[in-house]
Amino acid sequence: MLYVRNKNLFKHVFTMKESNCTIITERADVVEKAVSSIICHRKQLEEYVENNPQFLHSLRPIHVNKGPKIVKLMVSASQKVDVGPMASVAGVLADLAVETMTCSGANVAVVENGGEISAMSDRPVDIALLAGDHPLSGLMGFRLEEFPLGVATSSGLFGHALSFGEAEAVTVFSRNAGVADAAATSICNVVNGKDCHRAVKCGIDKALSIKDVNGVFILYRGITGIAGKIPNITKVFKGEDQGLFRNQSSELFQNLVIPAHLTANE
């Protein structure tokens, strides 16, 4: 979830079939270009899948000789992470829309597609972590300050996406949302079992084995795992003005976020 903290930015919500998108930019004329990008690339993907059903159903990386740009980017992301290409679709669509926006001169180009975020911005961007009915869902988030950045969250308990894991949330940070999307799926798949510390450590080890993953944040049965480089954790809550949000730190919140800090060295 994205939070608009600047009244000079435009926020547009757009839905097309499974794509539920939020577009944020400082230029109204760029919003329509982002929407057109999503529509165009979705259509190209749908046409490709009609003739190549394996692409839709494979849980492993596949080789593609020819195809539109979206297909090639999805294949590249899935090969880096060792999952099926559809694991990256939401993130890749967001990346392509952001690319269109920046090429059109936008200084703020942020697209959320079903929770996967691609961002290029000249100012900080606040996002919230959504993890179903977890106590921290919607209360904690991250302040994005270094770009380009892709953020994706996978859950083994909440949401409709296929997962073999049991984590409440696995949030991955990468330079692009396509890789983050695929990586979040792959990492979440290995976070399961009664030994919670071991499960989170498996997720961390998996994350650190993926070259293009900058950092990972894992919530699993009261255990929090952090590895690599992640943005600053913030508390988010709705302010008096609808759509405007503030950040606030407190000792209570910090203790709640990190009940057990498991790093890659433990």
Superfamily (CATH H level) for 2-262: ApbE-like domains (3.10.520.10)
Amino acid identity, residue 261? Answer: H
Secondary structure of the chain: what % helix, strand, coil (to 5)?
A: 35, 30, 35
Eight-class DSSP state of 242: T
User: How many residues are there in the chain?
Assistant: 266
Who contacts 264 (Cβ-Cβ below 8 Å, separation ≥6)?
Answer: 204, 205, 208, 227, 228
Q: CA-to-CA distance for 49 and 46, rounded, in angstroms?
A: 5
Task: Answer with the residue of higher pLDDT: 216 or 250.
Answer: 216
Instruction: Give the pLDDT confidence score for residue 239 in this predicted structure.
Output: 46
Instruction: Give the pLDDT confidence score for residue 139 in this predicted structure.
Output: 67
Cβ pair 151, 173 in contact under 8 A? yes
Task: Answer with the residue of higher pLDDT: 155 or 247.
Answer: 155
Amino acid identity, residue 73? Answer: L
For residue 264, pLDDT over 70 is answered with no
Segments making up each domain of the chain, as ranges:
2-262
